[in-house]
Amino acid sequence: MSKNRIFRTLTSLLGQMGLLAGALLISAPSLYMLSASFMNSNEIFSTRLQLLPEALNWSNYLEVFARFNFWLYLNNSLWVTGAVVLLNLLFTPMVGYSLAKFNYPGKNVLLLFILATVMVPFTAILIPLFLIVRNLGWINSYPGLVMPFAMSAFGVFLMRQFMLSVPDDYIDAGRIDGASEGRIYFQIVLPLIQPALITLAIVVFVANWDEFLWMLVVTTGDALRTLPVGLAKFREQYQTRFELMMAGSVVAAAPVVLLFLALQRRFLQGIAGLSGLK
């Protein structure tokens, strides 16, 4: 019996050590970014192994914000991503509700369209999308950055999934009481799926905070660049200022990482929910 217990403690200890080693390895690049953002240029260019800076050196952050347009990029990223999240919150639950609870001609075609868009690589429609946005006069404007992401196929599917779980009885009860369909949606259905809306907001925020290719194509000057594109342009111009690049990277990564750490469970549920599992 006691031999068995020793064996079990040993395996659990080994397991913990393995998990810890894995955790260190997996988070090494992220931790190194954080560490390098505080290094001076001598430390970062050191050809010997230097994992930590000698002192916490905030000057990289100050320089990135003072000398380069990072405030502007951060501001643009927040506005663009915020607008995309709001539009998604407005439209995708409506469509999800409609697909889950109503029948009308064209519904199956719509479902098929939306399903198909999951498989369409963005690059494959990049050129015509650019032409449309150009014809609308939206190049280098907020609508041009925001509108192509006002809805998303996965958002609609997520919402449809959650709407299916709303009991029909609640909706019918509303009808019997004489509530209009719009009132039923806003006062009965939406409050019921509130947790799903938060999940949707998180998923859309994360996906769009990171959008790179489209923002690269549709912005021509610095004025409307978001953080990812701003960082990429910074890299092209200041190849050797890795310490500044890492400080800018920390700023760009922080919002999503903090959101994740604050709302872990909801976050992970949202990702798992995308697969249609719950």
Partner 1 sequence: MVAQPTAADIRSQRRQGLFGNTLEARKRRFGLFFALPAFLFFGMFYVYPLFQTFYVSLFSWSLIDEPSFLGTANYTRLFADKEFLNAIWVSFLYAFGVVIPIWGIALGLALIFNRSFRGRQAYLTVYYIPAVISLTVWSLIWLLLYNPSFGLFSVVMRGLGIGGLRMLDDPSTAMLALILLSIWKGTPVYMLIFLAGLRAIPSDYYEAAEIDGARSWQSLLLITLPLLRPVFLYVMVISLIEAFKVFTPMYLLTSGGPGSATRVLSMFIFQNGFQYLKMGYASAASVIFLLILLLLALLQFRLLRFQQVD
Residues 133-152 close enough to bind partner 1 by CB under 8 A: 147-148, 150-151
| Footprint (CB under 8 A) of partner 1, residues 234-253 | 235, 242, 245-246, 249, 252-253
Options 102, 168, 221, 237; binder of partner 1; rule CB under 8 A: 102
DSSP letter at 58 equals T
Select 56 or 277, whichever has its Cβ closest to partner 1.
277
Three-state DSSP class for residue 37: coil
| Footprint (CB under 8 A) of partner 1, residues 169-188 | 175, 181-182, 185
Asked if residue 107 binds partner 1 (CB under 8 A), the reply is yes
Asked if residue 94 binds partner 1 (CB under 8 A), the reply is yes
AA letter at 255: P
How many other β-carbons are positioned within 10 Å of the β-carbon of residue 209? 21
Options 1, 49, 56, 262; binder of partner 1; rule CB under 8 A: 49
Options 5, 104, 178, 194; binder of partner 1; rule CB under 8 A: 104
Select 59 or 240, whichever has its Cβ closest to partner 1.
240
Here the contacts of 37-44 (C-beta below 8 Å, separation 24 or greater) are 37/61, 37/243, 37/246, 37/247, 37/249, 37/250, 39/243, 39/246, 40/243, 41/241, 41/242, 41/243, 44/242, 44/243, 44/246
Q: Which residues, at least 6 apart from 260, have a Cβ–Cβ distance to it below 8 Å?
A: 267
Asked if residue 86 binds partner 1 (CB under 8 A), the reply is no
Asked if residue 39 binds partner 1 (CB under 8 A), the reply is no
| Residue position matching structure tokens 């000398």 | 67
